[in-house]
Amino acid sequence: EVQLLESGGGLVQPGGSLRLSCAASGFTFSNNAMTWVRQAPGKGLEWVSGISESGRTTYYADSVKGRFTISRDNSKNTLFLQMNSLRAEDTALYYCAKRYGSIWGFDYWGQGTLVTVSS
């Protein structure tokens, strides 16, 4: 059974940093591209970042480019999102998701970890 378990969310002050993790199991992690998608309270889905199977290629939404860094450790089946210079508008539930083959569709999602940016 595929499982994605996010952790690392919490309350942080504006300008602060957080590192999110996503522990994957039930599939060959190193064979799958991964992504982060967020959802602000009461709002829609927003794609944040994606990473290739090897980790060599990364993609970012303009809203987080230069502030967030996606990475992965295939030896530990774990996906990361380093978030710096956090802003109030980054407050959201952050989901990690597995890319479905070669398409930019996501077939398995975690339950999310909540990030709140507030003073």
Partner 1 sequence: QSVLTQPPSASGTPGQRVTISCSGSNSNIGSYTVNWYQQLPRTAPKLLIYISDQRPSGVPERFSGSKSGTSASLAISGLQSEDEADYYCAAWDDSLNAVVFGGGTKLTVL
If binding is defined by CB under 8 A, does position 114 make contact with partner 1? no
Question: Which residue in 113, 115, 50, 66 sits closest to 89, CA to CA?
Answer: 115
If binding is defined by CB under 8 A, does position 8 make contact with partner 1? no
If binding is defined by CB under 8 A, does position 27 make contact with partner 1? no
Tell me, what DSSP letter sits at residue 90?
A: G
List all residues 6 or more positions away from 108 whose beta carbon is below 8 Å from its beta carbon: 2, 4, 27, 97, 98
If binding is defined by CB under 8 A, does position 20 make contact with partner 1? no
Size of the site for partner 1 (CB under 8 A): 22
**Stretch touching partner 1 by CB under 8 A, among 19-27, 72-80, 81-89, 107-115:** 107-115
Q: Which of residues 55-94 bind partner 1 (CB under 8 A)?
A: 59-62
CB-based contact 41:92 (threshold 8 Å): yes
CB of 69 to partner 1, least distance (A): 16
User: Per DSSP, what are the bridge partners of residue 11?
Assistant: 116
Neighbours of 107 (CB within 10 A): 13
Could you identify the residue written with the tokens 């479905």?
A: 100
Q: Which of residues 28-47 bind partner 1 (CB under 8 A)?
A: 35, 37, 44-47
Could you identify the residue written with the tokens 């980054």?
A: 90
From candidates 8, 23, 67, 109, binder to partner 1 by CB under 8 A? 109
Chain residues in the site for partner 1 (CB under 8 A): 35, 37, 44-47, 50, 59-62, 95, 100, 103-107, 109-112
